[in-house]
């Protein structure tokens, strides 16, 4: 008899979707990518990249329309964003090289440490700085 009582108690939906349901709805959109995270650092990167994506989109949409956002300043931010992406690409390549892994950069990027046609490796910025000291 107690079992029947427990079975009849079913939680009614609160009207709010669970976070899992919201994520599952988003994953089918074409402007959503799914990122796995294995480290707490990755959670920080994901949060910062989501913010960066939103801010960069708004910057591009409002430059020239808002007197505070000049084309020159927007171009500076976009170039800095590209430099940061190149730095992360280099960091990934250097870590893979240290662990003796093959590094495959994301689409649109090249391996900055890849051997050139002459058989020499490109110097990383850190290697170039150490060599000049």
**Which two three-digit tokens encode residue 128?**
């170039």
pTM of the model: 0.66
Asked if the structure places residue 8 within a domain, the reply is: no
Number of domains in the chain: 1
pLDDT in tens, 82-110: 999 999 999 999 999 999 999 999 999 99
pLDDT score at 85? 95
| 63 backbone dihedrals φ, ψ, rounded to 5° | -65, 135
Asked if the structure places residue 66 within a domain, the reply is: yes
Asked if the structure places residue 121 within a domain, the reply is: no
The DSSP symbol for 28 reads T
pLDDT in tens, 40-79: 888 899 999 999 999 999 999 999 898 889 999 999 999 9
Asked if the structure places residue 93 within a domain, the reply is: yes
Mean pLDDT of 3-11: 57
Mean pLDDT of 10-36: 78
């Amino acid at each position: 008899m107690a079992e029947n009582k427990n079975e009849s108690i079913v939680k009614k939906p609160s009207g709010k979707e669970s976070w899992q349901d919201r994520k599952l709805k988003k994953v089918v959109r074409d402007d959503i990518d799914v990122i796995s995270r294995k480290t707490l650092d990755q959670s920080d990167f994901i949060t910062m990249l989501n913010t960066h994506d939103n801010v960069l989109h708004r910057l591009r949409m409002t430059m020239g329309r808002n007197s505070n956002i000049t084309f020159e300043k927007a171009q500076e931010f976009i170039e800095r964003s590209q430099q940061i992406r190149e730095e992360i690409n280099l960091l990934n390549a250097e870590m893979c090289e240290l662990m003796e892994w093959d590094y495959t950069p994301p689409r649109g990027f090249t391996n900055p440490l890849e051997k050139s046609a002459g058989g020499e490796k490109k110097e990383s910025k850190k290697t170039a700085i150490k060599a000049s000291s």
